[in-house]
Chain A
């Protein structure tokens, strides 16, 4: 297979060595079917073994290899080198502190996800003998797209609100909260409400819509946030019944 020499500018940050992140340039012989992740692995294997980056499944499922490629948040395992011309610039996800090179600290992201309790909450669990919680295809369809999130954090890297307000709960967490609030088996919306309705909740979103543009799984977090806002408003206006807190 024909090889193409491609120049990569990769942001490096080595704690204890670099005062601040700096770009380093590598020339890589890329095959036609390579994705950016392949090139990063080639750099690590053959050129500079000190390069650090996260990856796992190589097929757009695990969400580990999210980075900025030419400024846009993408999964590097799904970003084909042949689709870029000239030098390809690779940076760690924006809006997250950099641990090393292309690896970012995701503690705040994980904590935000956890804060919205993204699991099915029942006021009273059914006895196992009573059978499973059944759901019709129509009920599934109401939240299915929001359940496709793979927690890759690309939406957080694209969000301009997070750049100004790091405490904002953020697109993925709100989309997940909305996904469970829409689930016919769930009864935990009142427990998620204080987080969504807080100062850093849904109203912090100013609808840039960028989260939905970059989502690799075509989830629409911007939609989830606006629907959550509308639900909140309608409850406040008593058009919908107010949720009782558990």
Chain B
């Protein structure tokens, strides 16, 4: 800054968006959408435990089923299912924007366009299933 530069005007700090994070319904939906990750992670932990029990034999599997039949686990499962359904619905609503007729100034890829949306998600799910199968002792 030169010696003759005007001093910087004092400013008031930026304010967060009005109604953020839970005072406005669209922000509430967004926060709820983000919160689904916690509940889906819980579901995944349960799934991992089940796969692990499956790999250890019938007794372990039956024990897992008995634990899952307890009332609090049933309630948790319903909550996880609810959040998962909410995630899927919102993702389907906002995710439709991801598909593009043409993506970037690059040659049109050889895959049919619908596959461009399915391929990454399908790949992600496949990797997860393989990983879970390995962890569950079904593979390797």
Contacts and interface: CB of A to CB of B under 8 A. Distances in A.
Contacts of B98: 223, 226-227, 229-230
Contacts of A18: 12
B74 to A, nearest CB: 31
Nearest to A193: B104
A98 B12 contact: yes
Interface in B11-56: 11-21, 24, 26-27, 30, 34
B112 interface: no
A230 B105 CA distance: 13
A98 B109 CA distance: 47
B27 A187 contact: no
B17 A163 contact: yes
Interface of A: 13, 15-16, 18, 20-21, 68, 71-73, 91-92, 94-100, 104-105, 142, 157-160, 163, 166, 181-184, 186-187, 189, 206-210, 213, 220, 222-223, 226-227, 229-231, 233-234, 237, 239-241, 243
B11 A97 contact: yes
Chain B interface main SS type:
loop
5 contacts: A99-B11, A100-B9, A206-B30, A222-B94, A241-B106
Nearest to A21: B12
B40 to A, nearest CB: 15
Contacts of A13: 12
B17 A240 contact: no
Given A206-B30, A210-B30, A241-B107, 10 more contacts: A91-B18, A94-B15, A97-B13, A181-B105, A206-B34, A226-B97, A227-B100, A230-B116, A239-B116, A240-B103
A184 B10 CA distance: 44
Interface residues of B, number: 36
B120 interface: yes
B103 A160 contact: no
A201 to B, nearest CB: 15
B11 A105 contact: yes
A154 B24 CA distance: 16
B16 A208 contact: no
B34 to A, nearest CB: 7
* 9 A-B pairs closest in CB distance: A71-B18, A97-B11, A223-B97, A98-B12, A208-B30, A163-B16, A226-B98, A231-B104, A94-B17
B119 interface: yes
A230 B118 CA distance: 12
Contact of B14 (A73, A166, A184, A230): A166
Contacts of A182: 102, 104-105
A160 B20 contact: yes
B103 A71 contact: no
